[in-house]
Amino acid sequence: MIHLYYGDGKGKTTAACGLAVRAAGSGMKVLFTQFFKNGRSSEIGILSSVNNIECLFPEISFGRYKNMTDDQKAETKTRYHAFLTEIIKKAADFDLIVLDESVSAYNYGFIPHEILTEFLLSEGKNREIVLTGRSPSDELINIADYATEMKKEKHPYDKGVKARKGIEF
């Protein structure tokens, strides 16, 4: 089945990590992937040490979309298309696939919509797939079997508190 954790609130990646650990603990093989992240978030150290979890990242991350130059956006589109292709090729070896921040990659056109939706429609019948990110399209919400919105009521960031290691990254 397809899981979608979305919204402007904290907890999307955290929920995906929790499900990955639960699945690995039951003997399932997990592929944990991240778009827009460089593999240095605090959760990656522990996830990559867990039996049955493989972590995979794009070769280069330019960070947030709003900070990218046009050249970086073009390179990201090329690299993320190749990254998604690599994930799809590996999919058959895993029971759970986490596509962290894939909704953002989809929204910005960094991954081909038709390739992602075809993958979800075909592989979502054979394995669990998790997507995370903000503002999913109606198409992604309709494809999902689970759609959970993380809604921010308040956050320390609104008061100028920077992201804290181990809590927000």
Q: Residue 167 domain-assigned?
A: no
Tally the domains of the chain: 1
Q: Residue 46 domain-assigned?
A: yes
Q: Residue 64 domain-assigned?
A: yes
Q: Residue 165 domain-assigned?
A: no
157 pLDDT more than 90: no
139 pLDDT more than 90: yes
For residues 108 and 135, the answer to whether their CB atoms sit within 8 Å is no
- 């895993």: which residue's tokens? 94
Helix, coil or strand: residue 104: helix
Give the CATH number, domain containing residue 79: 3.40.50.300
Q: pTM for the whole thing?
A: 0.94
Q: Residue 169 domain-assigned?
A: no
141 lies in which domain range? 2-159
pLDDT in tens, 84-121: 999 999 999 999 999 999 999 999 999 999 999 999 99
Can you give the pLDDT at residue 59? 84
Whole-number Å distance between alpha carbons of 106 and 128: 19
Q: Residue 166 domain-assigned?
A: no
Q: Residue 127 domain-assigned?
A: yes
Can you give the pLDDT at residue 125? 94
Q: Residue 164 domain-assigned?
A: no
